[in-house]
């Protein structure tokens, strides 16, 4: 795609006469990526750091009742496009403003998906006063904040590491014993019988707020192992009692086995995925009545997700 060039003039005075100097800079909407049903990200490039850039999103099936969505965007940053409608087609157009003049740039079209992120869990923020980090106050899929470490209404969903919210995370999701050949399977079955649910061995599926399969709401991501370790260090005791007494109210959510897809250990163990993996194992935080530590489990197993705000 050709770059969009905008030329403008700045007058420079001299002893003899006025000289007009032509200054040119380029800007381009390079990519719309990591698209889910209600969220996407935008990447742009430019040689001008002082211009203001805005992105207009307009449904291609536009009608008189639809209002354009506007986002301020910047180069060399992750630009959130939130509050999109699922299964919809959008045209994204870039605009640049410099010295009070606005110029329209290039456009890209994209379609949102029907699945991808958890849109059912209420988003309420809570900040750990010790670490200063802000999290969602409950697990993805949880009906409420835990009232005890074995409160089943606070357990939420069980995700296979690196997989999007496609339905497999539901505790009553059907089990299939066919390993996926794609990082986004065209079904919502829990894949059992393998150490990893897909054969791609991709370690970046959950790494970063704009990761392709990040199941968290817009502006949130999976925590790093280091952030989980900081949470444990902030508790009064590194165990289930300390986890529940903390501001995050972590509970013992159980685990779904990779071999057979059976759920067990509810009220006895809790496992919370991190964004990182190593070989066939996803790194996680394991909690029981005696201890809590950062550990790892096979990616095809099902564990909880607590999202942290990207700041």
Superfamily of domain 4-111: Immunoglobulins (2.60.40.10)
Query: Which residues contact residue 98 at a Cβ distance below 8 angstroms, ignoring those fewer than 6 apart?
Result: 6, 8, 25, 48, 50, 51, 52
> 277: helix, coil or strand?
strand
Question: What pLDDT sits at residue 291?
Answer: 97
Structure tokens belonging to residue 95: 């605009």
Burial class of residue 100 (count of CB atoms within 10 Å of its CB; 0-12, 13-18, 19+): exposed
- Residue 9: phi, psi to the nearest 5? -120, 140
Question: What pLDDT sits at residue 11?
Answer: 33
Cα(211)–Cα(39) distance, integer angstroms: 12
Which part of the chain has CATH 2.60.40.10?
A: 4-111
Question: What pLDDT sits at residue 182?
Answer: 94
Question: What pLDDT sits at residue 85?
Answer: 93
Question: What pLDDT sits at residue 47?
Answer: 86
Return the sign of the alpha-carbon dihedral for residues 103, 108, 109, 111. Answer: negative
**Is residue 226 within a helix (H) or strand (E), and if so which, with residue range?**
helix 225-234
Q: What is the DSSP string of 78-103?
A: -EEE-SPPTT-EEEEEEEEEETTEEE
Cα(249)–Cα(229) distance, integer angstroms: 15
Structure tokens belonging to residue 81: 């496009």
Structure tokens belonging to residue 250: 């972590």
Closest C-alpha to 276, from 219, 226, 217, 216: 226
Return the sign of the alpha-carbon dihedral for residues 69, 42, 91, 82. Answer: negative
- Give all strands (DSSP E) within 34-151, no chain letters: 40-46, 52-59, 69-73, 79-81, 89-98, 101-111, 125-127, 134-136
Query: What pLDDT digit, counting tens, does each position of 203-257 carry?
Result: 999 999 999 999 999 999 999 999 999 999 999 999 999 999 999 999 999 999 9
Structure tokens belonging to residue 139: 């697990």
Q: Which residues of the chain have pLDDT under 70?
A: 1-24, 62-66
How many CB atoms are located within 10 Å of the residue 54 CB?
14
Q: Say what the pTM is.
A: 0.90
Question: What pLDDT sits at residue 66?
Answer: 67
Structure tokens belonging to residue 11: 């007058």
Structure tokens belonging to residue 224: 């790093």
């Amino acid at each position: 795609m050709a770059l969009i060039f905008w030329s403008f003039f700045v007058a420079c005075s001299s002893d003899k006469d006025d000289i007009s100097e032509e200054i040119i800079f380029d800007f381009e909407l390079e990519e719309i990526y990591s698209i889910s049903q209600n969220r996407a990200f935008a990447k742009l490039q430019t040689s001008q750091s002082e211009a203001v850039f805005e992105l207009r999103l307009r449904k291609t099936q536009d009608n008189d009742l639809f209002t354009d969505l506007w986002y301020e965007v910047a180069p060399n940053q992750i630009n959130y496009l939130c509050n999109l409608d699922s299964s919809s087609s959008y045209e994204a157009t870039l605009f640049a403003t410099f010295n009070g003049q606005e110029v329209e740039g290039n456009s890209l079209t994209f379609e949102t998906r029907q699945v991808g992120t958890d849109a059912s869990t209420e988003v309420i923020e809570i900040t750990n006063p010790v670490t200063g980090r802000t999290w969602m106050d409950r697990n993805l899929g949880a009906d409420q904040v835990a009232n005890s470490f074995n409160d089943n209404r606070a357990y939420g969903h069980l995700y296979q590491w690196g997989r999007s919210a496609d339905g497999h995370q539901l505790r009553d999701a059907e089990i299939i014993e066919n390993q996926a050949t794609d990082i986004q399977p065209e079904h919502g079955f829990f894949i059992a019988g393998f150490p990893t649910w897909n054969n791609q061995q991709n370690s970046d599926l959950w790494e970063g707020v704009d990761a392709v399969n990040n199941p968290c709401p817009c502006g949130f991501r999976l925590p790093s192992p280091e952030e989980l370790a900081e949470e444990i260090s902030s508790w009064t005791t590194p165990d289930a009692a300390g986890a529940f007494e903390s501001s995050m109210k972590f509970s013992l959510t159980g685990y779904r086995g990779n071999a057979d897809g059976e759920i067990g250990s509810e009220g006895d163990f809790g496992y919370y995925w991190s964004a990182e993996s190593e070989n066939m194992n996803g790194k996680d935080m394991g909690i029981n009545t005696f201890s809590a530590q950062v550990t790892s489990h096979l990616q095809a197993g099902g564990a909880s997700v607590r999202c942290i705000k990207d700041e």
